[in-house]
Amino acid sequence: MKKKLVVLTGAGMSAESGISTFRDSGGLWEQYPVEEVATPEAFARNPELMLNFYNARRRELLKAKPNEGHQGLAELEKYFDVSIITQNIDNLHERAGSSHVIHLHGELMNARSTGDPSLVYRLSEDNPDIKWGDVCEKGYQLRPDVVWFGEPVPMIEEAVRITRQADIFVIIGTSMVVYPAAGLLNYVPDGVPIYLIDPKDVATQRRDIHHIRKGASEGVKELKQLLLENEA
């Protein structure tokens, strides 16, 4: 039986694919104050600005390709039962071939009804924009199917359940400051090896973390080597 490998990924996972990160210097938040593009209040205040912002991000995503880090995680499914919990709203894990991906913060390529959250629509690559006036079948305006600041994170309970099953836990490219995702570390079972892939220091309360100080692509290569030597 394969060991359960649980991977938590953040913006640093997709940075090498050309996806803008939010918190690094030069990241997205420096160009747009968070209050303008990632809160329900901002959408109520200026929906067209918000829709245009996410339309531009969607077009950026369509040009991006999975990097070697994404591909390396997909390849690890040969050896492990892999679940990916991602804070990213892109679809690069799926495009690289990962088969079990939980999106904590929603999916950029989905639209959702503002009046009935159960109505979610996949956007096509040919027509990826959501425009003001685009409505669901009940007549409500559509919005990006992403979790904005101040909104609940519906998939967090599933993420906690998966984390509790981990035989190995890996963190890649996340600042570990956005809750509730950062709190997942508290649910990793005692004695389970934890690997962190990030070229920078990341603040955690744990001393038992194996830190691979590399970017996603090179870091996943080293992780794969370590895991196949130690864990498989």
The vertex-71 CA angle with 70 and 74, nearest 5°, equals 90
Q: What is the pLDDT of residue 35?
A: 65
For 80, residues 6+ apart whose C-beta sits below 8 A from its C-beta are 2, 3, 4, 5, 168, 227, 231, 232
- 188 and 210 Cβ atoms separated by less than 8 Å: no
- 89 and 104 Cβ atoms separated by less than 8 Å: no
> Beta-carbon neighbour count of residue 93 at 10 Å?
26
Spatial separation of the C-alpha atoms in residues 197 and 173, rounded to whole Å: 6
Q: What is the pLDDT of residue 53?
A: 87
Q: Which CATH superfamily is domain 1-19+67-105+153-232 in?
A: TPP-binding domain (3.40.50.1220)
Q: What is the pLDDT of residue 178?
A: 67
Please write the tens of the pLDDT for every residue from 189-198: 999 999 999 9
- 90 and 128 Cβ atoms separated by less than 8 Å: no
Q: How confident is the model at residue 25 (pLDDT cuts 50, 70, 90)?
A: very low
Q: How confident is the model at residue 32 (pLDDT cuts 50, 70, 90)?
A: low
DSSP SS3 for 106: strand
DSSP class of residue 184? G
Q: Name residue 65's amino acid.
A: K
- High-pLDDT (> 90) share of the chain, %: 69
Domain spans of the chain, in order of start:
1-19+67-105+153-232, 20-63+110-146
Tell me the two tokens of residue 211.
């830190």
- 212 and 195 Cβ atoms separated by less than 8 Å: yes
Q: What is the pLDDT of residue 215?
A: 92
Catalytic residues: 105
- The pTM score is 0.90
Q: Which CATH code fits 20-63+110-146?
A: 3.30.1600.10
- Res 206 pLDDT > 50: yes
Average pLDDT, the chain: 89
DSSP class of residue 231? T
Mean pLDDT for the stretch of residues 72-90 = 96
- Res 92 pLDDT > 70: yes
Q: What is the pLDDT of residue 208?
A: 81
- Res 209 pLDDT > 90: no
Sheet holding 209-212, edge to edge: 101-103, 81-86, 4-9, 168-172, 194-197, 209-212
Spatial separation of the C-alpha atoms in residues 126 and 7, rounded to whole Å: 31
H helical segments located in 108-186: 156-164
Query: In terms of pLDDT, which residue wins out, 38 or 170?
Result: 170
